[in-house]
Structure 1
């Protein structure tokens, strides 16, 4: 088992994680001992929603090439402007001398470890590229454009920077208006003539992402790709600086583009012809050039008919020859491909069976985990000397920065603990992992969060939480919302039903052409039954909630059972046919079922919750962001109207300032929890109190 060390901080609650069930038993013994001996001056409090206003996140660490310093993002809630503010912090590689460096994003070290390139706002509020000398703080603004630079990458000699920025589309269809001089007319409308014309969290697609190169000392950026297609991912320089590699699908007509197709491409930093390295059709990305410049690793999937496409790792020679398979049959998509300095090995992160570990791969096709343990451990950067950094989370450990030397059974060193002050004196809910059998001999992995003051002689409300995707995975990372509900007295159960990733392609494709359906529903009910068997549950106070794909399955659950007292379906898809033409992922939406609904709509209708609304009796709350382009508000509106007409208790809450999801804004996280808790309490009985303190204080949302 991997051991964990701390730097200058008190012992962590997650030190008990190797035996979570034991930790829970120990916690109960502590409660009994305290009660008997009267030893505690003040009982610890559970995690409350107001703690969210002081929450912090540490993420995206980058270690300097010489291995001496680490820069990382530290985000905190500005409770007065209702937003997350991200600042870059810097510390020594041993975790000492942490301090704020600059407000900005996407920092990248220069090859000689003396400078940082990053993106920040200029005096006019436009995102620009800056370079800062780390030792003396001297900073230069490098770009002055009106479109934001992103995905920065230094040239190997440190003299240039490559970045990606949007190039505006030219109007393709116009008319001539007899507009009087100086007239203030209504702006021209957008003329839409492409299938994918908008993006969630952005709005209308106004241009194409292309590659630029600029001197690191400032100057005019040179655009080196163009056309009606997007550069995908972060560009990668060849070690000799002669070319920049990236992913994309070069087409002359955007409607001719296949969203499942992209290739590994290369172009000179001076511009010119773009050459294609990959030969096999598929959706390829994440190119990584070996230290000797001779081999390119990349990942992606071959286009197949099924909804879930297994990701593989491939390699190709720098001249485009010897394109070959390296790794296949993985439980999930490998992430964060990074070469070892010897050029013979590479590293990646793999999320499987609820955990995320770092793996070491070889070009001959072998791979093995470098880390182990009950955690989610990601890799973000490796120094020239082989020291790696990333971030880690566990059931009772918030996300923080770590450092380790990449070797088998590596011993990671925790460098930050940004929420230690908030969690001091807070008792978190214990987390138990379980596996349960379901229909068709399926095995389902899940977890139960128990209130910190759990007493087996009492009966507790149960909340079933369902993840989105549907091809995604719940894991053992820290989940603030679930801990908040545990603090409100709920037992929370969450699981990975069939369709989830992390268990291989057969498990993920078990719902192919049949989602939502019997299989995923059976698995969720098996997880619910497992929680009832393991905990003291009041079966008259059971509730279900989920967002996105979880909202779909929440709606499907109340269609197929009335065992839950109330439900909250957040950002759901309710009608697969109307969804296909209104979501920002139109091509994905049009391939949910086979055949097309033009030819045979049976499957499209059978798996659309709207067609079964007459079977719902469970009070159902609906919530969707007003800006949501992924599962548009109209989807929730369809279900709301159907339930309302049929006399089923329901409310619709369009969440202001939210795209896909309901909790990105700090205040909306609180609203999401409080609205659901209030809904559940109003539609059940047996509660010991009238509701959580503050549930009605400052409440928003007038009845309509």
Structure 2
């Protein structure tokens, strides 16, 4: 039996974006796999038609069935932009319909001969002073001016285009705001889209628009809501939409509504849980979070504690579980013929499934781990000091021997509005393979337990910190194999903030690894793609109206208290938590004579642990293991 190592990542395959055909017989999906030689990823389209086989060989994504299932459109990426491709669903040579210098972000079939594309259009700029000299000066007049994983966006707008099979294209929108998603009516007469019309001043607010193909545009909402995923009903008379009234800012869970073409709204699902999959994993492909409306009802994902499932709602308000189980559904699609979905659990990465006629069938075995020593998490409930229940888990080292004591690593998730749950985590398995116990939990602030549980507005480092420490206390009390003198802590994003916070509040952890963290809320406000609205939404006010709060909740303010050796891992193009957060904390630590190390990853962003270059992902995992081995 093999142990997990960082190199195990090279052997994993990551399925994504499953799409079922109209009859429910065939499925297309993507497979991403690390290419060690090129230090990148191969991404191709695969098909299931009773067997699974590779269907395309390019850098391909977003496969979409034609209305009759006879053809598949997809996007092929290249160095000069992206191509809209089409291929017969029975196979053969793919045909290029259109090349676009910009990035195609999504696509859909309007009819058998027409497509709608969402394109991130970059404003073209020519030097006025000297055409022989490249004008590389960024002249910026608004925020946000960059976005994590995308770079500078001040000169980029997503617009919708109509493209015919002969390659001709027509721009359908000229919106000044940010278009997030769109849906094409089954009758081919309308395109609905969601737009944040004033992302600079009201970034959480968005509106729903209906665009008739003849060019008439109608706004259905009143610029006071946040609109999420949308889908048309089969007769094109109504839309389903996930909507938040922002009563508690971004802490507010979406509810499912129907909206007719006059803007009349009806709530059909009032469950206080997040819509979509909030469960963390470092071993998952990319799947869009969509909703579907068929003759049977409206299908959507929802996170319930540590599980993500597929539900169906009817217009009369009845909601039922369709796909459940002790697992995390990562992506799905629905047609009148059936449902296809991807799902993982604690000990297995995503695999492909089909649900038809009330029966579920597993179709793939891409990541068979039967030859590995897998550590299975054990659940334990923690009653917090205020009486609330907190879900927690522990993983034993893979070579666990009764009577021995083991060092333990506390893992803290990002968000904070995400969750740990029944999903595969390679990092956790690697730690267990290297002789560490792993503790993880869903403290206050986590998603999947209702708005009240997640609402830590203005209280970062308080109730959430208490929950985390009480989880550790309960684990030590319950599991005698934990050596409480050899505790480590790590986390990324919010988990990185909390790691920084923990080492300023207590000395009980003997080693820490802080990843893509926040150390100073004031600098975070002004240097990141979300800071200018995330800070006020989470902490209350801005740095000028709440200077004391921003300072008190910043780990940097308390840095002199640190006695824990800490490794700081940060990506140099992380625009979600900019690298100045690591610079400041590391500089202060060294200035005050603390034991600290800084590891900077060039050409990487906030998604290093999930989609970074293969070499960098392996290096990151090795750094974590080496640091904890050194000090624990």
Superposition TM-score, scaled by structure 2 size: 0.93
Q: Distance in 1 between matches of 2:216 and 2:205?
A: 20
Gaps of 5+ in 1: 1-43, 685-704
Distance 1:138-1:682 versus aligned 2 partners, 3 A rule:
closer
Counterpart of 1:675 (choices 606, 623, 628) is 623
Counterpart of 1:559 (choices 498, 504, 520) is 504
Aligned partner of residue 331 in structure 1, secondary structure: coil
Counterpart of 2:364 (choices 406, 416, 421) is 416
What is the correspondence of 1:582-621 to structure 2 with a 5 Å cutoff?
A: 582-591=527-536, 592-621=538-567
Q: Distance in 2 between matches of 1:640 and 1:105?
A: 40
Query: Which residue of structure 2 aligns with residue 282 of structure 1?
Result: 225
Gaps of 5+ in 2: 278-288
Q: Distance in 1 between matches of 2:577 and 2:206?
A: 25
| Deviation by residue 1:63-89 (Cα, 9 ceiling, x = unmatched) | 111222111111111111111211111
Counterpart of 2:335 (choices 383, 400, 424) is 383
Query: Which residue of structure 1 aligns with residue 386 of structure 2?
Result: 440
Counterpart of 1:317 (choices 260, 283, 289) is 260
Query: Which residue of structure 2 aligns with residue 83 of structure 1?
Result: 40
Query: Which residue of structure 2 aligns with residue 651 of structure 1?
Result: 597
1:467 is displaced (CA, Å) by 0.3
Q: Is the 8 A contact 2:46 2:52 kept in 1?
A: no
Q: Distance in 1 between matches of 2:157 and 2:180?
A: 10
1:379 is displaced (CA, Å) by 4.6
What is the correspondence of 1:352-363 to structure 2 with a 5 Å cutoff?
A: 352-363=304-315
| Deviation by residue 1:395-428 (Cα, 9 ceiling, x = unmatched) | 1111111111375xxx4211111122xx242120
1:207 is displaced (CA, Å) by 1.3
What is the correspondence of 1:478-627 to structure 2 with a 5 Å cutoff?
A: 478-509=424-455, 511-515=456-460, 517-532=461-476, 533-591=478-536, 592-627=538-573
Query: Which residue of structure 2 aligns with residue 331 of structure 1?
Result: 273
Q: Distance in 2 between matches of 1:535 and 1:116?
A: 56
1:99 is displaced (CA, Å) by 3.2
Count of residue pairs brought into register by the alignment:
615
Counterpart of 1:341 (choices 287, 294, 305) is 294
Answer yes or no: is 1:397 the counterpart of 2:348.
yes
What is the correspondence of 1:189-338 to structure 2 with a 5 Å cutoff?
A: 189-205=137-153, 206-215=155-164, 217-233=165-181, 235-250=182-197, 255=200, 258-270=202-214, 272-279=215-222, 281-320=224-263, 322-334=264-276, 336=289, 338=291
Distance 1:316-1:393 versus aligned 2 partners, 3 A rule:
same
Q: Distance in 2 between matches of 1:337 and 1:658?
A: 28
Query: Which residue of structure 1 aligns with residue 284 of structure 2?
Result: none
Q: Please identify the structure whose Cα radius of gyration is greater.
A: 1
Superposition TM-score, scaled by structure 1 size: 0.84
Query: Which residue of structure 2 aligns with residue 110 of structure 1?
Result: 66
Q: Distance in 1 between matches of 2:630 and 2:581?
A: 25
1:658 is displaced (CA, Å) by 1.2
Q: Which moved more, 1:440-449 or 1:461-470?
A: 440-449
Q: Is the 8 A contact 2:351 2:366 kept in 1?
A: yes
Superposed CA RMSD: 2.0
Q: Distance in 2 between matches of 1:337 and 1:361?
A: 14
Q: Is the 8 A contact 1:452 1:486 kept in 2?
A: yes
Q: Is the 8 A contact 2:127 2:134 kept in 1?
A: no
Q: Is the 8 A contact 2:20 2:333 kept in 1?
A: yes
Q: Is the 8 A contact 1:264 1:285 kept in 2?
A: no
Aligned partner of residue 314 in structure 1, secondary structure: strand
Answer yes or no: is 1:128 the counterpart of 2:72.
no
Distance 1:559-1:346 versus aligned 2 partners, 3 A rule:
same
| Deviation by residue 1:629-675 (Cα, 9 ceiling, x = unmatched) | 11011101100011111111000111122101433222222222211
1:330 is displaced (CA, Å) by 2.1
Aligned partner of residue 143 in structure 1, secondary structure: strand
1:430 is displaced (CA, Å) by 1.8
Distance 1:331-1:578 versus aligned 2 partners, 3 A rule:
same
1:175 is displaced (CA, Å) by 9.8
Q: Is the 8 A contact 2:16 2:331 kept in 1?
A: no
1:363 is displaced (CA, Å) by 1.8
Query: Which residue of structure 1 aligns with residue 114 of structure 2?
Result: 160
Q: Distance in 2 between matches of 1:279 and 1:326?
A: 20
Q: Is the 8 A contact 1:293 1:318 kept in 2?
A: no
Distance 1:535-1:71 versus aligned 2 partners, 3 A rule:
farther
1:305 is displaced (CA, Å) by 5.0
Answer yes or no: is 1:351 the counterpart of 2:298.
no
1:339 is displaced (CA, Å) by 4.0
Aligned partner of residue 509 in structure 2, secondary structure: coil
1:276 is displaced (CA, Å) by 1.1
Distance 1:136-1:326 versus aligned 2 partners, 3 A rule:
closer
1:381 is displaced (CA, Å) by 1.1
| Deviation by residue 1:199-239 (Cα, 9 ceiling, x = unmatched) | 11111113100000111x22221101003212211x21122
Q: Is the 8 A contact 1:306 1:512 kept in 2?
A: no
Q: Is the 8 A contact 2:18 2:331 kept in 1?
A: no
Answer yes or no: is 1:54 the counterpart of 2:11.
yes
Q: Distance in 1 between matches of 2:370 and 2:266?
A: 52
Q: Distance in 2 between matches of 1:598 and 1:570?
A: 28
1:167 is displaced (CA, Å) by 2.5
Q: Distance in 1 between matches of 2:581 and 2:276?
A: 33
Q: Is the 8 A contact 1:357 1:377 kept in 2?
A: yes
| Deviation by residue 1:128-180 (Cα, 9 ceiling, x = unmatched) | 1001112241422111221122211001x322100111223377xx9964x4x
Q: Distance in 2 between matches of 1:648 and 1:59?
A: 44
| Deviation by residue 1:329-359 (Cα, 9 ceiling, x = unmatched) | 422224655445325x212111111011111
Aligned partner of residue 330 in structure 1, secondary structure: coil
Query: Which residue of structure 2 aligns with residue 449 of structure 1?
Result: 395
> Higher strand share goes to which structure?
2
1:368 is displaced (CA, Å) by 2.3
Q: Distance in 2 between matches of 1:188 and 1:349?
A: 43
Distance 1:500-1:139 versus aligned 2 partners, 3 A rule:
same
Aligned partner of residue 316 in structure 1, secondary structure: strand
